[in-house]
Structure 1
């Protein structure tokens, strides 16, 4: 009863059926069957079936976070733009800005089959046989194949002019994320805390901005939970999903974020902190060479992007510590994030001292 009630709040079946009649006749003309696939904080995913196969609707939750209505339409735009490219993604069939249909903007996309990483006990777990050698070794190569294809897309040619602000993209990064960190004081009444390594990392990033490269599409939220892989080995990525943070800028930012949790050949004594078990994955250097071979991009400044990824993550996740400090979330959750944030800045500072 509770699930049905939630679905009724998210989908007005008669109204949506009429909209589908006009905009997606290929879904069929039978009675509309809806099923909740995922109901999260930032988005809701609902299976749609009218007898001619399933599609997936993505919309904000009933009580949406700020900006989610705009975000869902940005997702639809980038997915439509990727049609016809080599980037693995779910095809977007149609989008709707009219909030009177289901109570919020939404889009309908292809239902892609595949497995995703699942977060269990604060670690990402993959299904057999991709949880062990030799098959797990191929997973990051499949991801880099997708990022290579994404970096090679001409964002202007596919209609994404104005989707982001690529000019001086890297020059704005430190101010953006340090400003977000500082905002928690006003937003939560959080005085902040000493974060060892922060000052070194912030200064180093400001002083070592790499030369600008050709801008492209950035996914911004990489990890196997946001991917769909083919069920049969070897690992092959069927689709990158969850494009809500995508923008236009330096695609190497995606590489820095994904490589942050990988082993580094220069520091064999360091086991990187990651939600994924990357002990049997290729090293950062192996995958950087692979990415460079596929894109022609300069990866000589990889250290900058690795450090930036840790800096950005630390600045963002400190909001959980701030929320715990004012009693908005459980203190144990706050303590867990406090350790993660501290590690972000300390490990980035150690990386600078040892590799830069």
Structure 2
């Protein structure tokens, strides 16, 4: 069956085949091209050639301003992680010198828990509990990688000091949207002040995923092991404990998709046992995650006032923002002690 006419993101398979030949990859016809569903606007297509399966990842057909640069960064990250123990998709080859930027990776042999649980996970509470610990272990593994594998990537100097001003500026920018009355977020200023007062004095720079939570993890079919951390487009060099705080802030032990996950304190303790990082300020990282995510979500609420997002979605995300700032108050009050 010819793949040339399959609607899979308008990929030029003839050009792709010629490019793969130039990379020295196995030849032959491209077969079985099918779209891969994911929580991203990038195009992902699975196919086979020369007896080997691949996933192609490229920007959307109508690329956004930074789409190619984001894919360039992602390919660079995956190349750097290829020879490390980190559970990341295995990069095969990438075109980054010209557009469209794209890369080929090996398909991940695993499932995303947000789409449902297979057996044995669905009926084994011990496996589901262990999935949470494995998520912490995979993050600790990433935190051990020497950031020198990504020279010139990110700006680790002053990384933590920039966070509160950066996100307050983002919140201020919503005032440019017509009709938005400004943020009605109880605890906003108190949280910003607390973060400024309790800023960790030092940190050891490392590779950050940037959006570490269950929806960006794939698990092995036969047990609790993390098969791959996916969606690396927010990756940078910063403080890896920001990722841990992000995971804790978004963590739901009673998760509808994965009931029976460990409590946040157990996650933190498990990470601490696998890392030499100083976790004495973990409450700061959890509060910072609530602060940042709440402000990000408030952006949709602001756009809804200007008619640029559905009102019901804006209202829902505003309610989520209020919940995040309430959770920040709990963390500030010692909920993780």
Same fold by TM (over 0.5)?
A: yes
| Change beyond 3 A, Cα 1:325–1:280 | same
Aligned: 1:260 with 2:259: no
Q: Which residue is equivalent to 1:19?
A: 19
Q: What TM-score does the superposition give when structure 2 sets the normalisation length? A: 0.91
| Change beyond 3 A, Cα 1:5–1:304 | farther
**Which aligned pairs between 1:1-356 and structure 2 lie closer than 5 A?**
7=7, 9-26=9-26, 28-38=27-37, 42-97=41-96, 104-118=100-114, 125-131=116-122, 133-156=125-148, 159-186=149-176, 190-233=180-223, 235-262=224-251, 280-355=260-335
Contact 2:94 2:103 in 1 (8 A): yes
| Change beyond 3 A, Cα 1:274–1:179 | farther
Cα distance, 1:170 vs. partner? Answer: 0.6
| Change beyond 3 A, Cα 1:239–1:221 | same
Contact 1:89 1:240 in 2 (8 A): yes
Contact 2:114 2:257 in 1 (8 A): no
Q: CA–CA distance in 1 between the matches of 2:78 and 2:263?
A: 30
Classify the secondary structure of the residue corresponding to 1:88.
coil
Cα distance, 1:92 vs. partner? Answer: 0.9
Q: CA–CA distance in 1 between the matches of 2:97 and 2:277?
A: 41
Is the deviation greater in 132-141 or in 334-343? 132-141
Q: CA–CA distance in 1 between the matches of 2:191 and 2:254?
A: 19
| Change beyond 3 A, Cα 1:273–1:114 | closer
Cα distance, 1:344 vs. partner? Answer: 1.2
Aligned alpha-carbon RMSD (Å):
2.4
How many residues are paired up? Answer: 333
How big is each residue's C-alpha offset from its partner over 1:268-311, in whole Å with a ceiling of 9 and x where there is no partner? xxxx6986667622222222222122111111111000100100
Q: Extract unaligned runs of 5+ from structure 2.
A: none
Q: CA–CA distance in 2 between the matches of 1:238 and 1:76?
A: 18
Cα distance, 1:52 vs. partner? Answer: 1.4
Q: Extract unaligned runs of 5+ from structure 1.
A: 120-124, 263-271
Q: CA–CA distance in 2 between the matches of 1:80 and 1:203?
A: 40
Q: CA–CA distance in 2 between the matches of 1:63 and 1:107?
A: 18
Contact 1:13 1:32 in 2 (8 A): no
Classify the secondary structure of the residue corresponding to 1:134.
helix
Q: CA–CA distance in 1 between the matches of 2:86 and 2:247?
A: 17
Q: CA–CA distance in 2 between the matches of 1:169 and 1:94?
A: 31
Contact 2:118 2:221 in 1 (8 A): no
How big is each residue's C-alpha offset from its partner over 1:66-85, in whole Å with a ceiling of 9 and x where there is no partner? 31210011000000001111
Cα distance, 1:117 vs. partner? Answer: 2.1
| Change beyond 3 A, Cα 1:163–1:7 | farther
Q: CA–CA distance in 2 between the matches of 1:283 and 1:63?
A: 42
Contact 2:177 2:306 in 1 (8 A): no
| Change beyond 3 A, Cα 1:180–1:147 | same
Q: CA–CA distance in 2 between the matches of 1:189 and 1:148?
A: 44
Q: CA–CA distance in 2 between the matches of 1:331 and 1:273?
A: 30
| Change beyond 3 A, Cα 1:288–1:328 | same
